[in-house]
Structure 1
Amino acid sequence: MAERRILIVEDDVLIGMMLVDMFDALGLPEPAQATSTDEALALIASEPLAGALVDINLGEEKGWPVADALAARGVPFAFTSGGGDVIPAEHASCRLISKPFRIGDIETALRAFGV
């Protein structure tokens, strides 16, 4: 069975690189990465995942379809945002990690996923 990875859904390449560096600093395997809803949905359908960090704002898109797909598969996830977003009621219990990220906040979210 393939190793379950964490999925990072983030449209800003520099922020994605920073998150990968945080995973490395925490001694975690390199995460799967997607920069759009379509890329994320393809990874969710094809890869075993232990959890996900989903940016709410993906360019002109919102991360809600990604959250819905993760929830439907029972994959734990947390939202990430620069602020000002209202999380839909069906995902209101999900953790929100605010930008700029602190490594401790990322580590806490990943531990909640059982990583």
Structure 2
Amino acid sequence: MPAICAGEKAAPLRDCQILLVEDEALVAMDLAYELEKAGAEVTFASTLAEALAIANSNDPPHSAAVLDINLRGEEVYPAAERLAATGVPFLFCTGHGKLEDVAPRFPDAPVLNKPIIGRQLVCALAALLP
């Protein structure tokens, strides 16, 4: 269990490159702050097209990803499928996504409901890492 999840202070995401796909700028900034505070480097995408381009290039190689389900009316699932195909673990976050669509497609992917508490996000991501 990562130290932060056990109540200790640490940087459980140190040296991790996290892809953050979020279309709301303030939410993205808040989540990025929490990830960086936990030691991660963050790459941003705010649209499905950007997320797909980053996932397809895998440059930089990502340790994990945080995916908002609804991106300006488009669902993030094509990017999730690409990440899954390349072995990049991910979790979904949503404020109003169709949760019933997630389980059949991605039964192992955690889903966090917004608003997301920083520690909750960090612990969920850390649990995905080897």
TM-score, normalized by length of structure 2? Answer: 0.79
The answer on 1:61 being equivalent to 2:74 is yes
Q: For 2:85 and 2:52, locate their aligned partners in 1 and report how far apart those are by CA, in whole Å.
A: 12
Unmatched tracts of structure 2, length 5 or more: 1-14
Aligned-residue sequence identity (percent) comes to 35
- 2:126 paired residue number: 111
The 1-side partners of 2:26 and 2:16 are apart by 24
Which structure has the larger Rg over C-alpha atoms? 2
Q: CA, structure 1 residues 22+4, in 2 after alignment: closer, same or farther (shift >3 Å)?
A: closer
For structure 1, list consecutive stretches of 5 or more residues without a partner in the other structure.
none
How do 1:55-94 residues align onto structure 2 when only pairs under 5 Å count?
A: 55-83=68-96, 85=98, 86=100, 87-94=102-109
Measured on the aligned residues, the alpha-carbon RMSD in Å equals: 1.7
Asked whether the equivalents of residues 23 and 71 of structure 2 are also in contact (C-alpha less than 8 Å), the reply is yes
Given that 1:50 and 1:113 are in contact with CA atoms closer than 8 Å, whether structure 2 keeps it comes out as no
Runs of 4+ with >4 A deviation = none
| TM-score (norm. length: structure 1) | 0.88
Specify the SS of the correspondent of 1:31: strand
Equivalents in 1 of 2:49, 2:34: separation in Å? 25
CA distance in 2, matches of 1:41, 1:88: 21
